[in-house]
Structure 1
Amino acid sequence: MTTIVVLALVFVFVALRLWSVLGSRTGHEQPLAKPVERPVAPRAVPLVGSDPAPAVGQVPATAPAAAAGLRTIASADPSFDAQRFVDGARSAYGMILEAFWRGDRESLAKLVDGEVADAFSHAITQREAAGETLDNRLVAVEQAEIEDARIEGQTAHIRIRFDADVAAVTRDRDGNVVAGSTTDAIPTHDVWTFSRAVKSPDPNWMLTETDEAA
């Protein structure tokens, strides 16, 4: 009888552990299938990458000025984890760039909001009118650092700087290279802001601002 009770308790413990890992959402999970299918973007920005979960106590690169804002966001949304956010932001950076380079408006609409979405759409339209295509490739994201974090009203905003290497090539209607290089990657420095209503049932973040880093 004692053995049966012990086994039952073990079963309940294992079931709870599986649920905590697989069945709960922290607010930043990446859908299991869609993010790896590059032609199809997931709904909004799933700010978690394919990297394994960070070690307990691991802290992302963060400017001192952002620390208080991150604490405020974590207080408003207990599921928020800064390291998971940064891991996911790195993945989102690549997905958004690739969607823009492909001219994939449908995917961008699920990843980008506001004036940024309008600017991306306008740039794609101009590119199509010129008969040009981008043969770009994100070589590596060297650094992703949170520069600022804040809550305005019920919306959280996190600004993150990306230092990356991109191989950028523009081709004309006939496939000839008109700009860029097929062999050399150039360093890029971007500052992107992701936003999310902290009380929203939708766990995903949207890109709402872009700028070049100073």
Structure 2
Amino acid sequence: MIVEIVILAMVAAFLGLRLYSVLGRRAEHEEEPIPHRFEREHGADDEAQPAPQPRTQMPMRIGDVPAGVEQGVRAIAAADPGFDLIAFVEGAKGAYAMVLEAFWEGDKDTLRELCDDDVYASFAGAIDAREAAGETLENRLIRIEDAIVKSADLEGRTARVTVLFVSDIASVTRDKDGNLVAGSLDDAIESRDAWTFMRNVDAAGPDWKLDETDEG
């Protein structure tokens, strides 16, 4: 029992530190591709079936966002000198992938670490309904085409940044017997999701949370 508690504590700490490292802190390393749990291991067939490559984009600077957004970004940066817009956007893409995969896999522990109470309750309710129906998902995040900062503001000491994710997702739903209910892994569909992340700028810990989700 003690060993299990220690392991769970280590997993929780790892998830918290991972989210902290990808959101809102200055990058210490060169940009790396977003990891996906569904990617195949590198092998002999990789040359025949190369993985899709993300679209090349110019780095985002504060001056690249609309004036209303720029004001909010500057306010957050003034309150939290460690905040960096480029690092935040790259980290937000990583968090987007982590949350989607956790939801598709029914991983409530990961969702609890990354989401606030309201968003977690929504995801958990959908997972419970899916499990009650005996359905499973085999969704895949093929690529994130774009990540656009739509709004940023500082209310008191709470920072909120909304990012519009434009992505290609292949979706498959199966029933309890493994039969296809809907979707196809061969046809990716464009998805537009506006997600808002929040953080208390005075907090020292890894407390960026997914605060709101909406369609883009």
Q: Taking structure 1 as the reference length, what is the TM-score of the superposition?
A: 0.75
| 1:108 is aligned to 2:82 | no
Identity of aligned residues (%): 46
Shift of 1:176: 1.1
| 1:208 is aligned to 2:208 | no
Amino acid at match of 1:184: D
Give the gaps of 5 or more residues in structure 2: 1-10, 33-57
Residue 59 of structure 1 corresponds to which residue in structure 2? 60
Q: Taking structure 2 as the reference length, what is the TM-score of the superposition?
A: 0.74
Cα deviation 1:152-185 (Å, max 9, x = unaligned): 1211000000000000000111111101112100
Shift of 1:41: 7.0
For residues 41 and 110 of structure 1, the distance between their equivalents in structure 2, rounded to whole angstroms, comes to: 10
Shift of 1:147: 0.6
For residues 168 and 62 of structure 1, the distance between their equivalents in structure 2, rounded to whole angstroms, comes to: 32
Residue 42 of structure 1 corresponds to which residue in structure 2? 15
For residues 202 and 93 of structure 1, the distance between their equivalents in structure 2, rounded to whole angstroms, comes to: 20
Shift of 1:52: 1.7
SS at 2:20 equivalent: coil
**Which aligned pairs between 1:73-152 and structure 2 lie closer than 5 A?**
73-152=76-155
RMSD: 2.4
SS at 1:181 equivalent: strand
Q: Is the Cα–Cα contact under 8 Å of residues 16 and 206 in structure 2 kept in the other structure?
A: no
**Which aligned pairs between 1:167-186 and structure 2 lie closer than 5 A?**
167-186=170-189
Change (3 A) 1:113 1:145: same
Change (3 A) 1:184 1:58: closer
Cα deviation 1:95-120 (Å, max 9, x = unaligned): 00000000000110000112111100
Change (3 A) 1:41 1:131: farther
Q: Is the Cα–Cα contact under 8 Å of residues 170 and 177 in structure 1 kept in the other structure?
A: yes
Change (3 A) 1:41 1:190: farther
For residues 196 and 21 of structure 2, the distance between their equivalents in structure 1, rounded to whole angstroms, comes to: 12
Q: Is the Cα–Cα contact under 8 Å of residues 142 and 164 in structure 1 kept in the other structure?
A: yes
For residues 138 and 41 of structure 1, the distance between their equivalents in structure 2, rounded to whole angstroms, comes to: 23
Cα deviation 1:45-65 (Å, max 9, x = unaligned): 3362897259xx942563432
Residue 36 of structure 2 corresponds to which residue in structure 1? none
Q: How many residues align?
A: 173
Q: Is the Cα–Cα contact under 8 Å of residues 200 and 207 in structure 2 kept in the other structure?
A: no
For residues 173 and 31 of structure 2, the distance between their equivalents in structure 1, rounded to whole angstroms, comes to: 37
Q: Which has the larger radius of gyration?
A: 1
SS at 1:173 equivalent: coil
Cα deviation 1:9-62 (Å, max 9, x = unaligned): xxxxxxxxxxxxxxxxxxxxxxxxxxxx9xx971173362897259xx942563
For residues 145 and 105 of structure 1, the distance between their equivalents in structure 2, rounded to whole angstroms, comes to: 27
Give the gaps of 5 or more residues in structure 1: 1-36
